[in-house]
Chains A and B, each alone.
Chain A
Amino acid sequence: MLGIVGTVPDRQFPLIHGKTRWADGHIRINDRSISVNRGTPALLGAALKASECINGPEIYAFLVGDVGRGDGSRKLYRFLEQHLPNFDFQVLTFHYLQPDVDWHNKVLFAIETMRRRPILIADAGFMYAAKMSGQACSYDFFTPDVGELAFLADEQAPHPFYTRGFILHQNNKVTDLIRLAYRHRNAAAHLLVKGKLDYIVHENQVVETVDHPSFPAMEAIGGTGDSLTGLLTVLCGAGFKLTDAAVSAAKANRRTGRYVDLNPATQVSELIDKIPQALSSLLYND
């Protein structure tokens, strides 16, 4: 089973956890339906579509409402600290959570006491906290975009908002940023750097790059990074070698653009619907 941890942009949404499934175009968890728009529901939706396509593992989610005040995230952190050791996951992916170093460390300690250590993926706010904590090397994957990679490369920045300009100016030299991130021990064992060119990195070595198919409009579409992390989660849990999982996730995520009339106003839910086609064409036809 795969675990996904994140937030829902609804203050009233309670802390819930359970197995997830598709039902009538929504994610179903316990007695609740969640729209697949953006954020963690987009990641979850992509993961469910991908897992269904390859007959992959079940997906268990830990969700809470949080609109940025951090109250929901802290509630979820507290729950995870207490209960994670009772769970068993092949892969555990952390997503939109309020970055909080102290809570991050408590959750990481809880993971250390799980029966088996899952493959750990950190994206979005939890990746920020993982970097700030100095524990980046405890993770198997970070999934930054190029701007977030610059943040990882800047050993002083506590948030991408404070990445120093001289590092941001290296935007076109992704390999330099990768090197800096590893030099300062701010990178996970693997990186999947999302951008015009996707970089798959293992321990400071670029293993592969993916640039095809290319749809410039995808940069504007909120949630395409979330869907990529969802694909990565499932492929890691399906037994792919980790770098292969990242390469296939990057390719499949791009391919979803082939099946819609893609433009900057396209919504990520339209792309997530096409994941089965994109993944099937990649895994079974190529």
Chain B
Amino acid sequence: MIGFLKKKKRKHNQEDQGVSADHGILVFENTSDVIQAENILKKQGWPVRVMGPPPEIQTGCDLVIDFPLIEELNILRELRCADISPLQVVPVTAHLLVPVDLFETKDFGTYLMVRAANMKITIAKEGLKIVNISGGGCPDVPYLAQEMVGKSLAEAPRPREIGHTLCGYALELAYEELLRKC
């Protein structure tokens, strides 16, 4: 229980500084982009805040948008529709982190599996039908599998279109890697 309170205390301290372990920041080239993005996102009901950037951020203007990291895919899609692109999207921690960029390909003979971060997608080489999607832990993973498995790569909806979380984003990367290979 003492450990629990200590952790709570640490978390409150983080909140005092306006950051939380499950938040990220959007870095833009200029302030007008930040404001425009904030208006769009707030109008759509996203819980975003305009903040000062952490010292590690060397690019962009002196404002960033703080957002719930898990909603990254949704928020980027919203901004893309409005033709606004952040320079960087980074999780809020003491140090800057970058997304996993390692791909692993496994050849099962008549099937091919690609893994990106924690997500795996497997296709039948003949017909390029998606036969399985595995890994991940966010609730869009079973949804993505439901919508994509049994369809060909060409027919299936793309994870970036129907996914909502970082797991969905990782699956999009695996999907793109498969497209490169097939």
- A residues contacting B by CB (< 8 A) are 7-9, 37-41, 66-70, 72-73, 96-102, 105, 108, 123-129, 132-135, 137-138, 145, 147-148, 151, 156-165, 168, 185, 216-217, 219-225, 263-267
Contacts and interface: CB of A to CB of B under 8 A. Distances in A.
B138 A156 contact: no
A135 B8 CA distance: 9
Nearest to B24: A158
Contacts of A225: 134
A156 B167 contact: no
A39 B98 CA distance: 28
Contact of B134 (A70, A99, A128, A219): A219
18 contacts: A8-B142, A66-B139, A68-B139, A68-B141, A70-B70, A101-B21, A105-B8, A124-B137, A147-B118, A156-B93, A157-B97, A158-B22, A159-B69, A160-B118, A161-B118, A162-B99, A220-B120, A263-B110
Contacts of A72: 139
The 7 closest A-B pairs by CB, nearest first: A68-B140, A39-B142, A68-B164, A124-B137, A134-B7, A265-B131, A9-B143
| Residue among A96, A158, A223 having the largest count of chain B Cβ atoms under 10 Å | A158
Interface residues of B, number: 61
Interface in B129-176: 131-146, 149, 162-170
Nearest to B166: A161
A168 B167 CA distance: 17
Contact of B164 (A37, A69, A135): A69
A128 B143 CA distance: 19
| Residue among B94, B117, B118, B144 having the largest count of chain A Cβ atoms under 10 Å | B118
A225 B102 CA distance: 22
Given A125-B139, A217-B108, 20 more contacts: A8-B142, A98-B165, A99-B70, A101-B20, A127-B137, A128-B137, A134-B10, A135-B4, A147-B135, A148-B137, A151-B118, A156-B95, A158-B93, A161-B118, A161-B169, A185-B3, A222-B133, A225-B134, A265-B131, A266-B132
| Residue among A99, A102, A145, A165 having the largest count of chain B Cβ atoms under 10 Å | A99
Contacts of A168: 100, 102
B85 interface: no
Contacts of B143: 9, 67-68
Contacts of B21: 101, 132-133, 158
Interface of B: 3-4, 7-8, 10-11, 20-22, 68-71, 74, 91, 93-95, 97-102, 106, 108, 110-111, 113, 115, 117-118, 120, 122, 124, 131-146, 149, 162-170
A9 B164 CA distance: 13
Nearest to B130: A265
A72 B7 CA distance: 27
Contacts of B11: 101, 105, 133-134
Given A39-B142, A133-B11, A158-B22, A96 B137 contact: yes
Contacts of A134: 7, 10-11
A79 to B, nearest CB: 16
Contacts of B145: 9, 37-39, 222
Contacts of A128: 137-138
